[in-house]
Amino acid sequence: MSECIFCRIANGEIPSATLYEDDDFRVILDLGPASKGHALILPKSHAANIYELPDELAGKAMVLAKKMAGRMTEALECDGFNIVQNNGEVAGQTVFHFHMHLIPRYEGDQVNVTWKLRTSTDDVRAEIIGKLK
């Protein structure tokens, strides 16, 4: 997809601060980081979101996220780590090419990746289970 900015970055058509690259992925530093070291895992083949991503590539992405989180935690001496992946505009996706955010966390960094806890009922849980079985 020549018009997809992340396709162009992942395939080296647009320069990036690359942390890692293999046949399937490029990992780059985010230009608008939430914290020091915030990076993105970009597959080289286009999939708009997780629903379009082939299962094999999805598995490889998670293995790569784990590998990079470990390397980044050690190198950057961060206190924690978020791995975030959004699907759809309502979920916060702004570039419609599957990607994973690797966000090193530091004590007091004021990065907010949380939500308000809500309650659920037995009926609601039963309904959800019924729909997914």
Catalytic residues: 99
Distance CA 107, CA 31 (A): 22
Question: 3-state class of 65 per DSSP?
Answer: helix
Bridge partners (DSSP) of residue 39 are 29, 102
Conformation bin of residue 88: beta by default, left when phi > 0, alpha when psi is -120 to 50: left
Q: Are 127 and 120 in contact (CB under 8 A)?
A: no
Phi first, then psi: what are they for 73, rounded to 5°?
Answer: -60, -45
